[in-house]
Amino acid sequence: MKKLIGFFKGVKKEGKMVRWPNAKDLLKYSLMVLILMLFFGGFFYLLDVLFTLLKGLIN
């Protein structure tokens, strides 16, 4: 039981050391993730279309 209590005390101590992002940083990083998702989604979609067209030319 002492180990379990010690574990949760350690979790609480570590939780206090976490640096949470402010609203400006959160918005900036969220937009960056969305833009990168759209970019790579479009990139791989175009690759898929290109390979499908190439496969159609070969067959």
The torsion angles phi and psi of 21, rounded to 5 degrees, stand at: -70, 150
59 in any annotated domain: yes
What pLDDT, in 10s, does the model give residues 9-49?
Answer: 999 999 999 999 999 999 999 999 999 999 999 999 999 99
User: How many domains in the chain?
Assistant: 1
Q: Is the pTM of the predicted complex or chain greater than 0.85?
A: no
49 in any annotated domain: yes
33 in any annotated domain: yes
1 in any annotated domain: no
46 in any annotated domain: yes
* pLDDT exceeds cutoff 90 at 59: no
7 in any annotated domain: no
CA distance 31 to 35: 6
- 48 close to 55: Cβ distance less than 8 angstroms: no
Containing domain of residue 29, as a range? Answer: 21-59
14 in any annotated domain: no
> Would you state the pLDDT for residue 9?
94
47 in any annotated domain: yes
Encoded tokens for 44: 């791989």
